[in-house]
Amino acid sequence: MPGRRAGIAFALAILALAALVAVEATRIPHSAYAVVGPRFFPFAVAGLLGLLGLLLLLQALAGGLLPADFAGEPFDRRAVAWVGLGLFLNVALIQSLGFVLASSLLFLCVARGFGSTRPIRHAALGFLLATLVFLGFSRLLGVRFGGGLVEGLLGAGA
Amino acid sequence: METLAALGQGFLVALQPTNPMWGFVGVTLGTFVGVLPGLGPALTIALLLPITYTVDATAAFILFVGIYYGAMYGGSTTSILLNTPGESATIVTALEGHRMALAGRAGPALATAAIGSFVAGTIGTLGLTFLAPTVVELALAFGPADYFSSMVLAFVTVSATLGSRPLRGLAALAFGIWLGLVGVDLQTGQARFTFGLLELLDGINVIVVCVGLFAVGETLWLAHRASLRRASIVPVRGSLWLSGEDWRRSWPAWLRGALIGFPIGALPAGGAEVPTFLSYWLERRLARRPQEFGRGAIEGVAGPEAANNASAAGVLVPMLTLGLPTSATAAIVLSAFQGYGINPGPLLMESQPQLVWGLIAGLYIANLLLLALNLPLVGLWVRVRAIPQPLLYAGILVFATVGTYGISQSPIDLVLLYAIGLLGFLMRLFDVPTAPVIIGTIPGPLAEQELRRALTIAKGDPTVLLTRPLSATLLALALTALLVPLLWRRLVRAGLRRG
Amino acid sequence: MPGWTRRATAAGALATLGLVATGLRSRTAQAAIDQLQLFVPAAPGGGWDQTARTMEAVLRVTGMVKGVQITNVPGAGGTVGLPQFVNQWKGRPNALMVGGMVMVGAVIANKAPVGLQATTPIARLTGEFEVIVVPAASPHQNLESLIAAFEANPGSVSWAGGSAGGTDHILVGMIAKAVGVDPEAAAYVAFAGGGAAQAAILGNQVTAGVSGWGEFAEQVKAGKMRALAISADKRQPGIDVPTLKEQGIDVELFNWRGVFAPPGLKPEQVKALVSLVETMAARDAWKAELAKRYWTGILLTGEPFAKFVAEEIVRIEGILASLGLA
């Protein structure tokens, strides 16, 4: 990522955050009795973020701030996409498929992203790990992870 | 003398046949939950409370304090090995500890953490044994104004963790403070920054922020460049054990950490995180080679780990002397007392000497057991890094999910965890330090609440911060901590020019 | 590396098989028996969770049901769990949710979409009255003196208690109203968790403190705090503290806890749950647990309890509005 543009983008992101915090802070209801109300600190934080955003912007425009470069080595989109897919599938499916199956999928995707070449073996390992964790928790500590296909078979669906 | 006799009695209780076994179960379980991201001792003990119906009181409390101390030991392991602190009190440990691991010195980092935990845990327990009544008197003198000023001091010392890019570090800190403000305002009951989500009314769990930024963020970061993945596979070089120089550098840090951690832990609103920041800052200031900090200085692991464990002993001071639940874990342990028909209060030590002293003796034993358990584990833990990378990071993400989803079963928490993880990845891409986010999330909102409490009590008069001697002293200390390094640099520079 | 994987797989498979086997066994054993499911809309360890776990213990020890399963869904005074209980547990004849006055307040203050009206109230089980204390070193020897100072200058009397809008704050609001002070003018100092509030009172940092009697009882007995009044309807046996009413302040407040069934049950299913809870509350084991935890048994079941809940919602809404919270 080119340093100057990245620096400007970061400064702008901080300024946007400052604006968001300030706007949201005005929507906090007033309370009469508190000496320092619930809005004081939010506004202070918004102000601090705004100030830092401006300073960062100046610094970036002056050409400072070069994020670590990897000597032209490519950004490994495939690996990041696999990990992201795993996270997405886990959130999307954990309630319908249950913890065990959703976590097995997560395990498989992340392993794939990190260069695993044995999908079947690793899927099985992920399933074993998730099942063990699930059983360990529900048996030893009584923590329930909600229902699901495998959970129902194991007799611990909530 | 009286104390020693009582303690002797306590050891007789704690060493009764089955009790050391309970202690062992406790420390093992505690180490385990400490290692897992997102699981803490409070939750574990809460879930084990039903045991109070079947086991006698001494055994149960020995089990519980074993879990408590064990979790303090275990927390540092993932910080050092994988740069994924599972709880807020071990973030500072990751700063230097993980650098050491990347340099092939995971063994000495884990060893100094374990021995430092033992030394500090024992010093803290000694403090609990002999100084508890005095310490608690001092602790009660702290009012909201004094707490606010101590948070100001903590913020100044946080500057040590901002890294080489202070502006971006400060932005991360401010972002963390903002995250900490999300939820219902304790003082007025008004919802802040919840965007209409009921799930956000209780605020964003610090553990979710911590696990998201570190475990999830680190995984994405490693995924994005093949060279990073290769670089993170480091064979352990040299000895697993501490060298002579490691010992020389570690032991003063352990002692200083313990002396910082114990009194702050004993403060009813002191917390476990602030002492670790203070210790890190102090070690960095006192280090003979400060340039090593950020590249794996062993003092930066030894001090904060000791402070963390000593503060755990400190938390027990108000709990056992006054019956005050000043941390989530203490609250759960106190409710276990009630399960036995014992109502913990200021008379606890007099009415239940057997139990209290048995528990204190149990702490000494737990510390010994933990040392015996953790030193051999060093050899095992360093091999965690030999697990094939795809499996290691896949496993880390599964465990991160367990710690978050398993407890609340809320997909919103999971979305939050992953979103914060993505943010942690972006921050790494932009070379923004992530530790300040957590540091803002904890003392930031505390400082706000204490300031508002102080002002409500003082009818809105802000001079209360200067008229209370404790508060004024702390503010003066903060100012000194801020100015002295600046002045020092000026003087040095002036001297150089002249000389 | 492959060796490592193979070994781990084998060990994991063995362990999983073992656990699966025990899981299957316990499931077939449980299929035939009476299972009660308790829904706790709070984290493990708090008051509602303790109520559920105490119920579990009593029901198990006395053999009234064969098994009890507790599910915790924490968040926002119960308002995160409540919709889940109402929607996803609808029609389950063997389910009970633990809740209470705090939830009534949280639903109002958080403007939650689902209220307790959506459930089937089964029984009020316990109540905890509040106590007003001052530090041992306080100049206020009695309630009269504290209230006089409060009336003269409301801002100069600071009250320590739990979070804004909670039971402690509600009591301060009620007292202010009763003595003719604007509730919003009271200098209420909210603390997270009982320990910090107690420390502030013991350390003489605030004028007065408000909390459940159970939290302060030991400090009062040890002479570290002075109890000026309790919020009960009448003198309590074994507690030498006058009520607010006795001292001319017409305020009464119980932090009650009870159990609720999901919506959509048949009348006979409701009846069965009511009688289960009534039988449990009559057991000595239950009474012994109440005494240990400073809970007062104030059993009220079925229709009268449903009416009580409806009245509480109106009453608390009024108080929270006067505190600027509704």
- Partners of residue C9 in chain A, C-beta under 8 Å: 121, 124-125, 128
- Domain segments of chain B: what residues? 2-491
* pLDDT tens per residue, range C33-58: 378 888 888 877 677 888 888 888 88
Q: Which of C5, C73, C165 sits opposite B189 (nearest CB)?
A: C165
* The pair of three-digit structure tokens given for residue B9, joined into one six-digit string: 């009695």
Please give the pLDDT value at position A144: 63
- Domain segments of chain C: what residues? 34-126+256-322, 128-247
Please give the pLDDT value at position A68: 55
Q: Is C76 within 8 Å of B202 when comparing Cβ atoms?
A: yes
Q: Is B397 within 8 Å of A126 when comparing Cβ atoms?
A: no
Identity of the amino acid at A12: L
Angle between helices B443-457 and B144-158 (to 10 degrees): 150
Q: Which of B219, B225, B431 sits opposite A76 (nearest CB)?
A: B225
B186 CB near a chain C CB, below 8 Å? yes
- Report the chain B residue with the minimal C-alpha distance to residue C191: B186
- Partners of residue B388 in chain C, C-beta under 8 Å: 1, 4-5
* CA torsion, ordered B3, B8, B9, B11, to nearest 10 deg: 130
Please give the pLDDT value at position B123: 94
Chains in contact with C, where contact means 3 or more Cβ–Cβ distances below 8 Å, are: A, B
Give the distance from residue A158's alpha carbon to the nearest chain B alpha carbon, in angstroms: 11
Please give the pLDDT value at position C24: 42
- Report the chain C residue with the minimal C-alpha distance to residue B459: C155
Q: Which of B143, B347, B453 sits opposite C203 (nearest CB)?
A: B143
Percent of residues, chain B, with pLDDT higher than 90:
22
Identity of the amino acid at A90: N
* pLDDT tens per residue, range B226-281: 877 777 776 766 677 888 889 999 999 999 999 999 999 888 877 778 889 889 98
C76 CB near a chain B CB, below 8 Å? yes
In three-state secondary structure terms, B258 is helix
* The pair of three-digit structure tokens given for residue A3, joined into one six-digit string: 């340093």
Q: CA nearest C58: which of C125, C117, C110?
A: C125
Q: Average pLDDT, stretch A132-147?
A: 72
Sign of CA dihedral C215, C217, C223, C229: positive
Check if C34-126+256-322 and C128-247 are the same fold: yes
Q: How far is CA C101 from CA B199, B479, C255, in A?
A: 20, 47, 6
C314 CB near a chain B CB, below 8 Å? no
Annotate B295-327 with b (16+ C-beta within 10 A) or e (fewer).
Answer: ebbbbbbbbbbbbbbbbbbbbbbbbbbbbbbbb
β pairing state of C95-100 and C67-72:
unpaired
Please give the pLDDT value at position C30: 33
Report, in angstroms and rounded to the nearest whole number, the Rg of chain C calculated over CA atoms. Answer: 23
Q: How far is CA B70 from CA B28, B260, B363, C25, in A?
A: 7, 20, 10, 33
For domain C34-126+256-322, the question of CATH label 3.40.190.150 is answered with yes
Ranges in chain B, pLDDT < 70: 1, 38, 159-164, 234, 236-238, 407, 495-499
Angle between helices B273-286 and B299-322 (to 10 degrees): 140
- Do B169 and B163 touch, CB atoms closer than 8 A? yes
- Do B116 and B306 touch, CB atoms closer than 8 A? yes
Q: Is B47 within 8 Å of A38 when comparing Cβ atoms?
A: no
Chains in contact with A, where contact means 3 or more Cβ–Cβ distances below 8 Å, are: B, C
Please give the pLDDT value at position B498: 60
Q: Is C164 within 8 Å of B188 when comparing Cβ atoms?
A: yes
Indicate the burial class of B289 (C-beta count within 10 angstroms; 0-12, 13-18, 19 or more): exposed
Please give the pLDDT value at position C135: 95
Task: State yes or no: pLDDT of A65 exceeds 70.
Answer: no
Say which residue, A63 or C100, is predicted with more confidence: C100
Is the pTM above the cut of 0.90? no
Residue A115: which region, alpha, beta or left (left: phi > 0; alpha: psi -120 to 50)?
left
Level-2 CATH architecture, domain C128-247: 3-Layer(aba) Sandwich (3.40)
- Partners of residue A107 in chain B, C-beta under 8 Å: 394-395, 397-398
Long-range contacts from A33-36, C-beta under 8 angstroms, 24+ separation = A33/B188, A33/C184, A33/C185, A33/C186, A33/C187, A33/C188, A33/C324, A34/B187, A34/B188, A34/B452, A34/B456, A35/B452, A35/B455, A35/B456, A35/B459, A35/B460, A36/B451, A36/B452, A36/B455
* pLDDT tens per residue, range B184-240: 888 888 888 988 887 788 888 888 888 888 889 989 998 888 877 777 776 766 677
- Report the chain B residue with the minimal C-alpha distance to residue C225: B346
B410 CB near a chain C CB, below 8 Å? yes
> What stretches of B146-296 adopt beta strand conformation (E)?
183-184, 191-192
- Do B178 and A14 touch, CB atoms closer than 8 A? no
Identify the DSSP state of C243: B
Give the distance from residue A123's alpha carbon to the nearest chain C alpha carbon, in angstroms: 11
The ipTM assigned to this model is 0.89
Ranges in chain C, pLDDT < 70: 1-33, 45, 193-194, 326
* Chain A / chain C CB contacts < 8 angstroms: 55
Give the distance from residue A109's alpha carbon to the nearest chain C alpha carbon, in angstroms: 17
- Do B38 and B402 touch, CB atoms closer than 8 A? yes
Please tell me the total number of residues recorded for chain C in this structure.
326
